[in-house]
Amino acid sequence: MCVYNKRHTMKLSRSHTIIYMLTMIAVLMLILALLNCSTEKSNNPLTEGLDEIKPAIGIQPKKESDILPKSYIVELTQTKDTTTPKLPSLAAAQPEIFNPETAYYINTVSANNPAADNKSAIFKVDKPSTIVLHMETAKAASFIAIAPQEGGKFPPKFTFTLTNNIEANKLSMDLWGTSPTAANVPSNSIVGSDNYAGYPYPKEVFQTKDKSGKLVDGLLVGGVNIGNNALNIIGVGRIFDRNFTDIGEVQNLSDKITIDCADSKGLTGIFIYLGKAETK
Among the residue ranges 16-20, 168-172, 195-199, the one predicted with the least confidence is: 16-20
pLDDT tier, 251 (very low <50, low <70, confident <90, very high otherwise): very high
214 alpha carbon, distance to own chain's centre: 25
Higher-pLDDT residue of 272, 16: 272
Q: What pLDDT, on the 0 to 100 scale, is given for residue 185?
A: 85
The average pLDDT across 65-84 equals 88
Q: What pLDDT, on the 0 to 100 scale, is given for residue 242?
A: 95
CB atoms within 10 A of CB 8: 10
Among the residue ranges 96-100, 144-148, 251-255, the one predicted with the least confidence is: 96-100
Q: Name the 3-class secondary structure at 120.
A: coil
The average pLDDT across 219-233 equals 96
The average pLDDT across 92-120 equals 86
Q: What pLDDT, on the 0 to 100 scale, is given for residue 48?
A: 45
* Mean per-residue pLDDT over the chain, rounded: 84
Task: Give the global pTM.
Answer: 0.75
pLDDT tier, 252 (very low <50, low <70, confident <90, very high otherwise): very high
Q: How many CA atoms lie within 13 A of 114 on its CB side?
A: 15
pLDDT tier, 59 (very low <50, low <70, confident <90, very high otherwise): low
Higher-pLDDT residue of 19, 88: 19
Find the length of the chain: 280
pLDDT tier, 90 (very low <50, low <70, confident <90, very high otherwise): low
Among the residue ranges 2-16, 21-35, 128-142, 254-268, the one predicted with the least confidence is: 2-16
Separation CA 99–CA 117 (nearest Å)? 30
pLDDT tier, 22 (very low <50, low <70, confident <90, very high otherwise): confident
Among the residue ranges 32-46, 98-112, 127-141, the one predicted with the least confidence is: 32-46
Higher-pLDDT residue of 56, 191: 191
The average pLDDT across 173-197 equals 89
Q: What pLDDT, on the 0 to 100 scale, is given for residue 2?
A: 47
For 201-205, the CB contacts below 8 A with 24+ separation are: 201/111, 201/143, 201/273, 202/111, 202/114, 204/114, 204/115, 205/109, 205/111, 205/114, 205/143
Separation CA 47–CA 168 (nearest Å)? 53
Strand order in the sheet with 224-227: 207-209, 215-221, 224-227
Q: What pLDDT, on the 0 to 100 scale, is given for residue 278?
A: 82
Q: What pLDDT, on the 0 to 100 scale, is given for residue 97?
A: 79
Q: What pLDDT, on the 0 to 100 scale, is given for residue 46?
A: 44
Separation CA 110–CA 85 (nearest Å)? 44
Higher-pLDDT residue of 39, 276: 276
Give yes or no for residue 232 having a pLDDT over 90.
yes
Q: Beta 103-110 vs 189-191: how paired, if at all?
A: unpaired
| Per-domain residue ranges of the chain | 67-80+98-274
Give yes or no for residue 81 having a pLDDT over 90.
no
Separation CA 162–CA 106 (nearest Å)? 11
Q: Looking at the DSSP assignment, which residues form a beta bridge with residue 134?
A: 69
Task: State percent of the chain over pLDDT 90.
Answer: 52
